[in-house]
Amino acid sequence: MRITLFALLLLTLLPTARAAPELRLNNVFYTVTGDTVKALWANVLARTPVAQNGKKHVAYTRWQVNWRFWWQHNGENCDISKVNTQLDVTYTLPKLESETTTPHDVTERWNRYYAALFEHEQGHKNLGLQAAQEIEQQISNMGARADCTQLEHDANRIARDVIEHYIDIEKEYDRTTNHGLNTGVVFP
């Protein structure tokens, strides 16, 4: 009897069921080439498809959080029963056309640069992941509403507010890292 009561008590204390965000990654590469560091950099700037506010950037990470939730209506109110999020991430990155024909010293510098660049872009992806996790947490813990229409409206508002918050954090991330320059994303 004690075990049954303990198990029931534990079930009532558990948060609403939620899964970890589903992560879907996509890479978009543009090829670059050059026999010298200077020539390679010029080729990167000529070929990059990434531009914001008239300024070219070498890479870009786009993330989008999609959310879905279910509710239960018990006759008096409506409450969230399950929340799922999906994070779609697309990296746009340069890719060295050929490491075998590019001089060894140029390839070594490129590989160091690329590792730092990708680490910076991972920071953007991680912010998207944090946004997805926070959406799940906040919607799961939002509490019951008098009707399901209001619950749905409030849950969607929460998710949109979380995304806006993380967009602001992402802008600050780029500002404080100077788009990665302060953390080693330096080439040539």
In a domain, 7, yes or no: no
CA atoms within 13 A of residue 155's CA, in its CB half-sphere: 28
In a domain, 75, yes or no: yes
Q: What pLDDT was estimated at residue 19?
A: 65
- What pLDDT, in 10s, does the model give residues 78-123? 999 999 999 999 999 999 998 889 999 999 999 999 999 999 999 9
In a domain, 11, yes or no: no
- Listed in order, strand segments (DSSP E) in 50-158 are 50-52, 55-57, 60-73, 78-96
Give DSSP secondary structure letters for 137-180: HHHHTS--BSSHHHHHHHHHHHHHHHHHHHHHHHHHHHHHHTTT
Nearest-angstrom CA–CA distance, 117 and 111: 10
Higher confidence at residue 70 or residue 3?
Answer: 70
Q: Which domain holds residue 136?
A: 16-183
In a domain, 88, yes or no: yes
Q: What pLDDT was estimated at residue 23?
A: 97
In a domain, 139, yes or no: yes
In a domain, 174, yes or no: yes
Amino acid of residue 85 = T
What number is the average pLDDT over the span 114-135?
98
Tally of structural domains, the chain: 1
Give the pLDDT band of residue 11 (cuts 50, 70, 90).
very low
- The yes-or-no verdict on residue 8 having pLDDT over 60 is no
Nearest-angstrom CA–CA distance, 9 and 162: 32
In a domain, 135, yes or no: yes
β-bridge mates for residue 22, sequence order? 86
In a domain, 1, yes or no: no
